[in-house]
């Protein structure tokens, strides 16, 4: 996923729209208006088809949003922190900051989404079963959303992690083995296998001439393979780093730069010597902010001596700083959320270190390489 904007905070949970969501809305609307509605509801004229198709695309994402909120609210009941719910090209994803505490919690959190989607499908089926007369456009829209929610529930219950069915399976394997890591490894392998099957099926569809469906299947399969691998790595990372403080990984005595240093001296004596991309800016022991390589990259070398570091100072914010006793997993989540790879570590308003993502990941890689399956927090 790429850039995302927050559009609301129902139940205090930020709802974010990824930029790829717009691509999905356009493609789904086009597919409905050009394919599904002309075949299933030929009585609709062109303008009604397109209007209903747009409503159908938005209705699908509303259904996905309700699906994800069912997960999120049940997760909250078990004490898990929900950072956000994001809608993107392949649907939606909830950002849970913690792993479920027990197999039972995993099971109920996982089944909540498909259960809600199945309930929505049941409610949408009532007018058809009861024979209630609706406007043609309303009939077409409800028909589509009935199918969409049915498929949403069915697809998500496939036993492949990180789909909901894979999480249900993980809860049973976790209960049987007593190891969340082993359960995640097994179900993530199934997720990668399902992703490969979808990619192969997409290739066959492409050869058959169904190129729109082929692209959806291929990219969905590729995303599922990546998500499965990433989910296992995330579970392992959480298990190995849970409860570890930031101070265990931060670099003490960080290199700082004064605000009145010229840009030329900053590049020669700091950037080229230390090869960092971010430097804290201090004046008489007071932390003012930081300067980044990206922030000064647009200045031509010939103009460096005419500028001071203070001109490119980024002021301090809570998002750019972390306390030394904070959980390092929370710090990593903040880096992911803000796109930063380094955080300033402050204690009582003083700079005491720098936390770099690469240092945490290097420790993680070394621990896994040396201890393998026996690695423990």
Please list the active-site residues: 68
CB contact at 8 A, 260 and 308: yes
């Amino acid at each position: 996923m790429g850039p995302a904007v927050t559009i609301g905070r129902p139940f205090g949970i930020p709802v974010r729209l990824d930029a790829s969501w717009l691509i999905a809305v356009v493609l789904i609307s086009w597919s409905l208006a050009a394919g599904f509605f002309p075949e299933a509801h030929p009585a609709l004229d062109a303008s009604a088809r397109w209007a209903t198709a747009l409503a159908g695309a938005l209705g699908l994402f509303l259904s996905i949003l309700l699906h994800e909120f069912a997960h999120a609210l049940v997760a909250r009941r078990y004490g898990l922190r929900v950072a956000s719910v994001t809608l993107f090209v392949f649907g939606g994803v909830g950002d849970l900051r913690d792993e479920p505490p027990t197999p039972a919690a995993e099971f109920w959190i996982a089944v909540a989404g498909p259960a809600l989607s199945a309930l929505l499908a049941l409610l949408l089926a009532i007018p058809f079963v009861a024979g209630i007369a609706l406007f043609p456009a309303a009939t077409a829209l409800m028909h589509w959303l009935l199918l969409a929610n049915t498929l949403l529930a069915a697809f998500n219950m496939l036993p492949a992690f990180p789909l909901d069915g894979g999480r249900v399976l993980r809860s049973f394997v976790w209960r049987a083995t007593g190891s969340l890591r082993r359960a995640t490894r097994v179900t993530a392998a199934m997720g990668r296998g399902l992703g490969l099957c979808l990619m192969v099926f997409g290739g066959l569809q492409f050869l058959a001439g169904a190129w729109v469906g082929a692209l959806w299947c291929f990219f969905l399969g590729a995303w599922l393979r990546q998500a499965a691998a990433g989910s296992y790595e995330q579970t392992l990372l959480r298990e190995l780093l849970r409860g570890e403080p930031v101070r265990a990984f931060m670099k003490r005595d960080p290199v700082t730069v004064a605000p009145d240093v010229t840009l030329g001296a900053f590049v020669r004596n700091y950037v080229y010597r230390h090869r960092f991309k971010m430097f804290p800016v201090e004046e008489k022991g007071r932390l003012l902010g930081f300067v980044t390589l990206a922030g000064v990259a647009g200045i031509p070398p010939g103009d460096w001596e005419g500028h001071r570091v203070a001109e490119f100072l980024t002021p301090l914010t809570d998002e750019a700083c972390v306390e030394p006793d904070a959980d390092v997993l929370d710090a990593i989540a903040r880096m992911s959320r803000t796109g930063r790879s380094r955080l300033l570590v402050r204690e009582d308003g003083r700079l005491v270190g720098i936390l770099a993502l690469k240092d945490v990941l290097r420790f993680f890689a070394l621990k896994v390489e040396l201890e393998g399956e026996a690695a423990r927090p």
